[in-house]
């Protein structure tokens, strides 16, 4: 099955398209001090190698902004400069090679400052991601719509956008984050009906991986399944590698990204006569290293195992201390339990 995606306006972050039915990208944010160039570059490499498409780094001072050029010389994925309040840092980031800027125009202050930032971004042809979260709702909309809800979030974002559009700037992506999953879903749904700008999806402050991945999979997954969303970031209190892996797993789960091996395995039950849990743990580590878009099924018994294994490109249907290896529905061989993974990997390697 495929998802019928909303055709939003297409923008470019560096050479990576976002929106307009482009592939959905996975973003993350570095945790290094940006001006510590060696550490930042190393972390970007690590994130890129596990599937990060776009990186965002905090720009907290002029030295961070000045480091962007050198960081970009040593990395490939586009660089978004995350700016909080100081318009001069946005100007410096644009000047030093940022591929996009993330800021809230409302935080920048006087309109002449916003104009300067927009001119710098226009001159460099770089987009701005406008972010509104449940903590940055305009008082006017908070009062008008009765507190924090999807309307106050959406109309705060629309007002931020109007500020940019009024200055002839349309190279925009939008995020509307809340840590409440249902509020996140409702806000993006509403905004998607009101605007065609590409959407950066995220459930903000989602927590540690054990909680945050579930919240993100539910919130972001629900929106993506409805065709809403152009780029995603899983926000975790963890190593950002976990964010990137979770983001790619969500996209793969929805067939929005063909990326490596799709591992299917059963939950085990009293019929399982091999140590399937250890086998699957080992298999996951090995299969993660394989760059092939295939489905591998590892099943615990002969009741449901052969059926699932036959559907997969490769599969194991376990028996009592042994198992059958399948390839595209054909039995290849019968092997003892201790050889199952080794023989499976040999077949995949072939």
Q: Which residues touch 77 (CB under 8 Å, ≥6 apart)? A: 14, 16, 44, 47, 48, 52, 53, 54, 55
By the 8 A CB rule, do 176 and 133 touch? yes
With CB under 6 A as the contact rule, the residue among 19, 221, 240, 305 that binds ligand SF4 is: 305
With CB under 6 A as the contact rule, the residue among 165, 303, 321, 334 that binds ligand SF4 is: 303
Beta carbon of residue 303, minimum distance to ligand SF4 (angstroms, whole number): 5
Q: Binding of ligand SF4 at residue 266 (CB under 6 A)?
A: yes
Segment interacting with ligand SF4 (CB under 6 A) among 40-48, 108-116, 204-212, 295-303 = 295-303
With CB under 6 A as the contact rule, the residue among 13, 206, 244, 299 that binds ligand SF4 is: 299
By the 8 A CB rule, do 55 and 28 touch? yes
Q: Binding of ligand SF4 at residue 319 (CB under 6 A)?
A: no
With CB under 6 A as the contact rule, the residue among 304, 331, 343, 348 that binds ligand SF4 is: 304
Closer residue to ligand SF4, CB minimum distance, 262 or 272? 272
Rounded to an integer, what distance in angstroms lies between the CA atom of residue 230 and that of residue 1? 19
CA distances (Å), origin 230, targets 17, 42, 48, 139, 310: 9, 27, 19, 29, 34
Rounded to an integer, what distance in angstroms lies between the CA atom of residue 126 and that of residue 285? 39
Closer residue to ligand SF4, CB minimum distance, 172 or 309? 309
Site for ligand SF4 in 268-287 (CB under 6 A): 268-269, 271-272
Rounded to an integer, what distance in angstroms lies between the CA atom of residue 21 and that of residue 325? 39
- 79-82 vs 54-58, strand pairing mode: parallel
Site for ligand SF4 in 30-69 (CB under 6 A): none
The token pair that represents 263 in the structure block:
């591992």
Count of CB atoms situated within 10 Å of the CB of 76:
11
Site for ligand SF4 in 90-129 (CB under 6 A): none
82-86 contact pairs (CB < 8 A, 24+) = 82/29, 82/56, 82/57, 82/58, 83/59, 84/60, 85/109
Segment interacting with ligand SF4 (CB under 6 A) among 179-187, 287-295, 297-305, 342-350 = 297-305
Q: How many residues bind ligand SF4 (CB under 6 A)?
A: 12
Closest residue to ligand SF4: CB criterion? 300
By the 8 A CB rule, do 61 and 20 touch? no
* Torsion angle (degrees, nearest 10) of CA 36, 42, 48, 53: 10
Backbone angles phi, psi at 216, to 5 degrees: -70, -40
Name 298's bridge partners. Answer: 265, 316
Q: Binding of ligand SF4 at residue 161 (CB under 6 A)?
A: no
With CB under 6 A as the contact rule, the residue among 105, 209, 300, 306 that binds ligand SF4 is: 300
Segment interacting with ligand SF4 (CB under 6 A) among 199-207, 300-308, 320-328, 329-337 = 300-308
Beta carbon of residue 188, minimum distance to ligand SF4 (angstroms, whole number): 36
Segment interacting with ligand SF4 (CB under 6 A) among 77-85, 105-113, 230-238, 267-275 = 267-275
Q: Binding of ligand SF4 at residue 340 (CB under 6 A)?
A: no
Beta carbon of residue 323, minimum distance to ligand SF4 (angstroms, whole number): 11
Task: Kindly list the residues in this chain that would bind ligand SF4 in the complex (CB under 6 A).
Answer: 266-269, 271-272, 299-301, 303-305
């Amino acid at each position: 099955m495929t998802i019928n995606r909303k055709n939003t306006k297409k923008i470019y972050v560096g050479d990576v398209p976002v929106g307009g039915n482009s592939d959905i990208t996975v973003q993350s944010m570095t945790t290094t001090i940006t001006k510590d160039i060696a550490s930042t570059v190393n972390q970007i490499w690590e994130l890129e190698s596990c599937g990060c498409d776009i990186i965002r780094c905090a720009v907290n001072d002029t030295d961070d902004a000045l480091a962007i050029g050198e960081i970009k010389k040593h990395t490939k994925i586009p660089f978004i400069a995350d700016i909080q309040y100081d318009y001069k840092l946005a100007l410096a980031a644009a000047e030093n090679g940022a591929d996009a800027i993330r800021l809230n125009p409302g935080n920048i202050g006087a309109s002449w400052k916003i104009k300067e930032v927009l001119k710098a971004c226009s001159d460099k042809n770089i987009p701005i991601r406008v972010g509104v979260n449940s903590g940055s709702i305009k008082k006017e909309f908070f009062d008008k719509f009765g507190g924090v809800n999807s309307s106050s979030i959406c109309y705060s974002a629309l007002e931020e956008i109007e500020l940019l559009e009024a200055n002839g700037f349309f190279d925009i992506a939008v995020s509307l984050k809340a840590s409440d999953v249902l509020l996140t879903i409702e806000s993006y749904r509403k905004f998607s009906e009101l605007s065609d700008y590409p959407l950066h999806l995220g459930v903000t402050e989602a927590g540690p991986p054990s909680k945050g991945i579930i919240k993100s999979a539910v919130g972001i997954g629900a929106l993506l399944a409805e065709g809403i969303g152009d780029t995603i970031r899983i926000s975790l209190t963890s190593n950002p590698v976990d964010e990137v892996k979770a983001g790619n797993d969500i996209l793969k789960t929805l067939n929005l990204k063909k990326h490596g091996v799709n591992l299917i395995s059963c939950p085990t039950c009293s019929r399982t006569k091999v140590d399937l849990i250890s086998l699957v743990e080992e298999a996951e580590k090995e299969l993660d290293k394989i760059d092939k878009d295939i489905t591998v099924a590892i099943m615990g018994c002969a009741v449901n195992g052969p059926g699932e294994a036959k559907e997969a490109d490769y599969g194991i249907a376990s028996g009592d201390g042994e198992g059958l290896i399948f390839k595209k529905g054909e039995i290849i061989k019968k092997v003892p339990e201790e050889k199952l993974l080794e023989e499976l990997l040999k077949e995949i390697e072939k």
